[in-house]
Structure 1
Amino acid sequence: MNTNRPWMNNKRDRNMRGGFRGGRGGPRGWSGNQRGFKSSWGSFDGPSTGNKFQNNYAPNKGQWKKRDTPGKRLSEEDIGVTEYVSKHEGFNGIIKSRYSDFQVSEINEQGEIAKLTCLKPPPAPEEEAVSEDEDLLLSKYNLEILPMETWDKINTLAVSKDPEPDCVEIDMEGVTKEQRTKIHDAVKKAFGDSIVGSTVNIEDKKLMRFQKFKKGVRIDNRVKWTWPAEYVHFIVHKENCDTMDAAMRIAERIGVHVKPSMLGYAGTKDRRAKTSQWFSARRLDPRRFVAATRYLKDIHIGNFTFKNTNLKLGMLQGNRFRIALRNVTASDEVVNTACKDLQEHGFINYYGLQRFGTRVDIPTYNIGLKMLQGNFKDAIELILDSREGPLAGALAAYRAGGAAAAARGLPRRASGPEARVLRALSAAPNDVHGALAQLPRNTRLLYLHSYQSLLWNRAVSERLRRHGLAPAVGDLVPLANIDKEDEFEDEDSDAEENEADGKSDKQQANNSPNDIKTEKQSIKKERTSSQSDQSSVKDKEKDKKNSSKDEEKPKVPVKVLTQEDVDSGKYTMADVVMPLPGYSVDYPPNMLDYYEQLLSDAGLTLDMKHKIKSYRLCGAYRRVVVRPRDVSWRAVRYSDPFADLIASDLDELNNKTIDAIRDDGKYRALLLNMTLPASCYATMALRELLKVDTSSDNQASQNNYHKSRKSSTTEENEGEEKKKKEADSPEKAKGADSAEKTKEADSAEKERANGSEKVKVEHDSEVKLEIEAESGEKRKMLSESEQTEDVKRQKVDK
Structure 2
Amino acid sequence: MKGDCDVVNVPICFISNHEGFDGSIKNFTRDFVVTELDINGLLVTKPTAILDVFPRISNAISPCTGRNREPVPEFKSNSISATQDTDVPVDDKSRDVTSPSLDNFDLKVILGQLVSEELEQFVVTLKDESGLRGDEVEKLVNQDLSLGSFPDKHHRACVHRAVRHNFPFLMTVTIQPEIRVRGDPDYRELSRLVTEMEAEDFFRFINAKEQGSSYTFRPDHDKEHRTAVHHFLSRRFGKLVETKSFCEQGETAISVRLRERGRPKKRKAEDCKKEEVYTAFTLCKENLETLEAISYMAATLGVLPSDFTYCGIKDKRAITYQSMVVKKVSPQRLKEKTAEFEKRGMRLSHVRSVSEPLRLGQLQGNHFDLVVRDLRPHKASDTHPSGPDTPSHLAVLVQQAVENVKARGFVNYYGPQRFGTGQNVRSDQVGLALLKEDMVSAVHLFFTPEEGDDPQSRAKRHFLQTGDAKESLALMPLSKARERLMLRALHRYGTGADGCAQAWLSLPHGMRVFSLHAYCSRVWNEAVAHRLSSLGHLVRQGDLVWVQDHQGGTVDSNLPQIHVVTSEEEKDGVYTLEQVVLPMPGNTVRYPGNAMGTWYKERLASDGLENCPFRVSALKLNLPGCYRPLLACPRNLTYRLQGPTTGDGGREGGAASYSGEAKSEEKPNCTSSKMKQDADSLTLTLNFDLESSCYATVCLREIMKCDP
What TM-score comes out, normalization by structure 2 length? 0.55
Q: Are residues 1:363 and 2:426 paired? A: yes
Gaps of 5+ in 2: 53-102, 104-209, 215-273, 378-393, 665-674
Partner of 2:398: 335
- Per the TM alignment, residue 353 of structure 1 is displaced from its structure 2 partner at its CA by 0.6
Partner of 2:310: 265
Task: Give the partner amino acid of 2:527.
Answer: A
- Number of aligned residue pairs: 445
Partner of 1:596: 601
Answer whether contact 1:235 1:278 (CA < 8 A) is retained.
Answer: yes
From 607, 610, 614, the equivalent of 1:605 is 610
Partner of 2:693: 679
Matches within 5 A, 1:621-700: 621-637=627-643, 645-650=655-660, 665-694=679-708
Task: Give the partner amino acid of 2:599.
Answer: Y
Answer whether contact 1:581 1:606 (CA < 8 A) is retained.
Answer: no
Query: Kindly tell me: are residues 283 and 357 of structure 1, through their superposed partners in 2, closer, same or farther at Cα, counting changes over 3 Å?
Result: closer
- Per the TM alignment, residue 578 of structure 1 is displaced from its structure 2 partner at its CA by 0.3
Query: Kindly tell me: are residues 290 and 627 of structure 1, through their superposed partners in 2, closer, same or farther at Cα, counting changes over 3 Å?
Result: same
Partner of 2:441: 378
Answer whether contact 1:629 1:674 (CA < 8 A) is retained.
Answer: yes
- Per the TM alignment, residue 468 of structure 1 is displaced from its structure 2 partner at its CA by 0.8
Answer whether contact 2:651 2:679 (CA < 8 A) is retained.
Answer: no
User: Which moves more between the two structures, 575-584 or 379-388?
Assistant: 379-388
Answer whether contact 1:421 1:439 (CA < 8 A) is retained.
Answer: no
- Per the TM alignment, residue 689 of structure 1 is displaced from its structure 2 partner at its CA by 0.3
Task: Give the partner amino acid of 1:573.
Answer: L
Matches within 5 A, 1:201-220: none
Between the aligned partners of 2:593 and 2:32, the Cα distance in structure 1 is: 40
Answer whether contact 1:239 1:275 (CA < 8 A) is retained.
Answer: yes
Between the aligned partners of 1:96 and 1:203, the Cα distance in structure 2 is: 59
Answer whether contact 1:349 1:624 (CA < 8 A) is retained.
Answer: yes
- Per the TM alignment, residue 439 of structure 1 is displaced from its structure 2 partner at its CA by 4.3
- Per the TM alignment, residue 367 of structure 1 is displaced from its structure 2 partner at its CA by 1.5
Secondary structure of residue in 1 paired with 2:537:
coil
- Per the TM alignment, residue 236 of structure 1 is displaced from its structure 2 partner at its CA by 2.3
- Per the TM alignment, residue 451 of structure 1 is displaced from its structure 2 partner at its CA by 1.1
Query: Kindly tell me: are residues 301 and 327 of structure 1, through their superposed partners in 2, closer, same or farther at Cα, counting changes over 3 Å?
Result: same
Answer whether contact 2:424 2:448 (CA < 8 A) is retained.
Answer: no
Task: Give the partner amino acid of 2:314.
Answer: K
Q: Deviations over 1:457-504 (max 9, x none)?
A: 111111101111121111101337999979xxxxxxxxxxxxxxxxxx
User: Which moves more between the two structures, 106-115 or 603-612?
Assistant: 603-612
From 20, 36, 53, the equivalent of 1:90 is 20
Answer whether contact 2:583 2:590 (CA < 8 A) is retained.
Answer: yes
Between the aligned partners of 2:562 and 2:682, the Cα distance in structure 1 is: 46
Q: CA RMSD in A?
A: 4.2
Secondary structure of residue in 1 paired with 2:398:
helix
Answer whether contact 1:100 1:644 (CA < 8 A) is retained.
Answer: no
Partner of 1:577: 581
Query: Kindly tell me: are residues 612 and 558 of structure 1, through their superposed partners in 2, closer, same or farther at Cα, counting changes over 3 Å?
Result: same
Partner of 1:541: none
Between the aligned partners of 1:408 and 1:383, the Cα distance in structure 2 is: 17
Answer whether contact 2:434 2:616 (CA < 8 A) is retained.
Answer: no
- Per the TM alignment, residue 643 of structure 1 is displaced from its structure 2 partner at its CA by 7.1
Answer whether contact 1:80 1:461 (CA < 8 A) is retained.
Answer: no
- Per the TM alignment, residue 82 of structure 1 is displaced from its structure 2 partner at its CA by 1.9
Partner of 2:198: none
Task: Give the partner amino acid of 1:86.
Answer: S
- Per the TM alignment, residue 390 of structure 1 is displaced from its structure 2 partner at its CA by 4.7
Partner of 1:302: 349
- Per the TM alignment, residue 310 of structure 1 is displaced from its structure 2 partner at its CA by 2.4
Task: Give the partner amino acid of 2:591.
Answer: Y
Between the aligned partners of 2:296 and 2:347, the Cα distance in structure 1 is: 12
Q: Deviations over 1:313-371 (max 9, x none)?
A: 21101001111110112521111110011101000010111011233431111121122
Between the aligned partners of 1:383 and 1:239, the Cα distance in structure 2 is: 25
Answer whether contact 1:596 1:606 (CA < 8 A) is retained.
Answer: no
- Per the TM alignment, residue 612 of structure 1 is displaced from its structure 2 partner at its CA by 3.7
Q: Are residues 1:105 and 2:115 paired? A: no
Task: Give the partner amino acid of 1:561.
Answer: V
Task: Give the partner amino acid of 1:235.
Answer: T
User: Which moves more between the two structures, 315-324 or 634-643?
Assistant: 634-643
Secondary structure of residue in 2 paired with 1:320:
strand
Task: Give the partner amino acid of 1:392.
Answer: S
Secondary structure of residue in 2 paired with 1:94:
strand
Partner of 1:465: 533
Answer whether contact 1:234 1:302 (CA < 8 A) is retained.
Answer: yes
Query: Kindly tell me: are residues 203 and 427 of structure 1, through their superposed partners in 2, closer, same or farther at Cα, counting changes over 3 Å?
Result: closer
Between the aligned partners of 2:546 and 2:680, the Cα distance in structure 1 is: 50
Secondary structure of residue in 1 paired with 2:525:
helix
Query: Kindly tell me: are residues 386 and 577 of structure 1, through their superposed partners in 2, closer, same or farther at Cα, counting changes over 3 Å?
Result: farther
Partner of 1:559: 563
- Per the TM alignment, residue 81 of structure 1 is displaced from its structure 2 partner at its CA by 1.1
Between the aligned partners of 2:651 and 2:492, the Cα distance in structure 1 is: 51
From 483, 486, 494, the equivalent of 1:418 is 486
Answer whether contact 1:595 1:606 (CA < 8 A) is retained.
Answer: no
Query: Kindly tell me: are residues 441 and 290 of structure 1, through their superposed partners in 2, closer, same or farther at Cα, counting changes over 3 Å?
Result: closer
Between the aligned partners of 1:337 and 1:89, the Cα distance in structure 2 is: 8
Between the aligned partners of 1:431 and 1:361, the Cα distance in structure 2 is: 24
- Per the TM alignment, residue 201 of structure 1 is displaced from its structure 2 partner at its CA by 8.6
Gaps of 5+ in 1: 1-74, 123-172, 174-199, 205-226, 487-553, 655-660, 695-798
Matches within 5 A, 1:239-250: 239-250=286-297
Matches within 5 A, 1:34-45: none
Between the aligned partners of 2:652 and 2:309, the Cα distance in structure 1 is: 34
From 302, 306, 322, the equivalent of 1:277 is 322
**Percent identity for Structure 1 against Structure 2:** 29
- Per the TM alignment, residue 283 of structure 1 is displaced from its structure 2 partner at its CA by 6.9
Query: Kindly tell me: are residues 426 and 574 of structure 1, through their superposed partners in 2, closer, same or farther at Cα, counting changes over 3 Å?
Result: same
Structure with higher Rg: it is: 1
- Per the TM alignment, residue 450 of structure 1 is displaced from its structure 2 partner at its CA by 1.2
Q: Deviations over 1:64-107 (max 9, x none)?
A: xxxxxxxxxxx955235121000001101212121101111111
Between the aligned partners of 1:418 and 1:377, the Cα distance in structure 2 is: 12
Secondary structure of residue in 1 paired with 2:22:
coil
Between the aligned partners of 1:272 and 1:294, the Cα distance in structure 2 is: 22
Query: Kindly tell me: are residues 258 and 78 of structure 1, through their superposed partners in 2, closer, same or farther at Cα, counting changes over 3 Å?
Result: closer
Query: Kindly tell me: are residues 609 and 247 of structure 1, through their superposed partners in 2, closer, same or farther at Cα, counting changes over 3 Å?
Result: closer
Partner of 1:114: 44
Q: Deviations over 1:186-205 (max 9, x none)?
A: xxxxxxxxxxxxxx99999x
Answer whether contact 1:264 1:280 (CA < 8 A) is retained.
Answer: yes
Q: Are residues 1:346 and 2:409 paired? A: yes
Query: Kindly tell me: are residues 293 and 471 of structure 1, through their superposed partners in 2, closer, same or farther at Cα, counting changes over 3 Å?
Result: same
- Per the TM alignment, residue 267 of structure 1 is displaced from its structure 2 partner at its CA by 1.6
Task: Give the partner amino acid of 2:359.
Answer: K
- Per the TM alignment, residue 574 of structure 1 is displaced from its structure 2 partner at its CA by 1.4
Between the aligned partners of 2:464 and 2:569, the Cα distance in structure 1 is: 58
Structure number with higher helix proportion: 1
- Per the TM alignment, residue 603 of structure 1 is displaced from its structure 2 partner at its CA by 1.3
Query: Kindly tell me: are residues 441 and 284 of structure 1, through their superposed partners in 2, closer, same or farther at Cα, counting changes over 3 Å?
Result: closer
